[in-house]
Amino acid sequence: MRDSRDPLAAWRIATEPYYRPVGDEPRRYELAYGRRLPLILSGPTGCGKTRFVEHMAWRLGVPLITVACNEDMTASDLVGRHLLDAGGTVWHDGPLTLAVRHGAIRYLDEVVEARQDTTVVIHPLTDGRRLLPLDKKGEQLAAHPDFQLVVSYNPGYQSAAKDMKPSTRQRFGSMAFDYPPPATEAEIVAHEAGIVLPLAEQLVAIAGRTRALRGHGLEEGASTRLLIHAGCLMRDGLDARASCEMTLTGSLTDDPDVLRVLHDCIDATFG
């Protein structure tokens, strides 16, 4: 049950999420939040976009409400709807309305996966009006001073049909993310998986080889997230080849020829 004294209590982050900066991205975000500038975070899958937003929400002391977008999501899923309960028909705020009404960072993950008629509802929130029309209630909801809208997507993985419309994109500031430099990525994997740095460096080396195959048998290379999963299995006692097969190779492709190349890479790395 939601705490009426703090409607966003469930979305407050109490413990610092680990994030290893690559550059000055935390300062850039802080300045953007100071202006409540809507932001697009773009970059490959599993490179740390969501963790970055979680870290910044904790750092700023602002609740974070996250929704993973999909093609079945409707405007009502975001905004809210009337529902029946014991007292009759009652309006229930959706996650976007909660953030707008009470003041939170609203994070739409992989926003281009949502239908375009759904994402249109965010337009009045991304200009000087900062309004959310609740048509079913006949209400124009002004955004709380702490509200900020953040969206993310992977530009290299989307079809043209799912790319972000220019009329939407130009409403946002933009921050581009990529996989960290190898030394930094190894530090992240070692920390998150609880493994020694030399082992993390070997995993990062494998990831580099898979990323070099993008467009040459692979749609995407191994993400930092997958490396952490492999490291966790190794920490728990699974041997290196089996750990990589479970988290890296099988997650990237079913093509026998590409799998053979990946397995050879793993064997060469771990002996």
Residues 27 and 124 in one domain: yes
Residue finishing a domain among 157, 176, 195: 176
Residue finishing a domain among 176, 206, 223: 176
Residues 172 and 189 in one domain: no
pLDDT at position 160 is: 45
| For helices 49-60 and 25-34, angle between their N-to-C axes, nearest 10 degrees | 60
Q: What is the pLDDT of residues 221-247, one digit of tens each?
A: 999 999 999 999 999 999 999 999 999
Q: What is the pLDDT of residues 251-268, one digit of tens each?
A: 899 999 999 999 999 999
Which CATH number does the domain housing residue 131 bear?
Answer: 3.40.50.300
- In sequence order, the β-bridge partners of residue 93 are 80
Q: Tell whether the model's pLDDT for residue 113 goes beyond 90.
A: no
Residues 125 and 171 in one domain: yes
Residues 210 and 264 in one domain: yes
Residues 72 and 15 in one domain: yes
Number of domains comprising the chain: 2
Q: What is the pLDDT of residues 46-99, one digit of tens each?
A: 999 999 999 999 999 999 999 999 988 888 999 999 898 877 889 999 999 999
Q: Decide if 4 is inside a domain.
A: no
Sequence-separated (6 or more) residues with CB below 8 Å from residue 214: 220, 221
Task: Give mean pLDDT, residues 142-157.
Answer: 91
Residues 24 and 147 in one domain: yes
Instruction: Classify 217 in phi/psi space as left (phi over 0), alpha (psi -120 to 50) or beta.
Output: left
Strand 148-153 with 105-109, pairing: parallel
Residue finishing a domain among 141, 176, 211: 176
Residues 27 and 89 in one domain: yes
Q: Decide if 1 is inside a domain.
A: no
Q: Tell whether the model's pLDDT for residue 4 goes beyond 70.
A: no
Structural domain harbouring 214: 182-270
Q: What is the pLDDT of residues 159-203, one digit of tens each?
A: 444 667 788 889 999 999 999 999 999 999 999 999 999 999 999
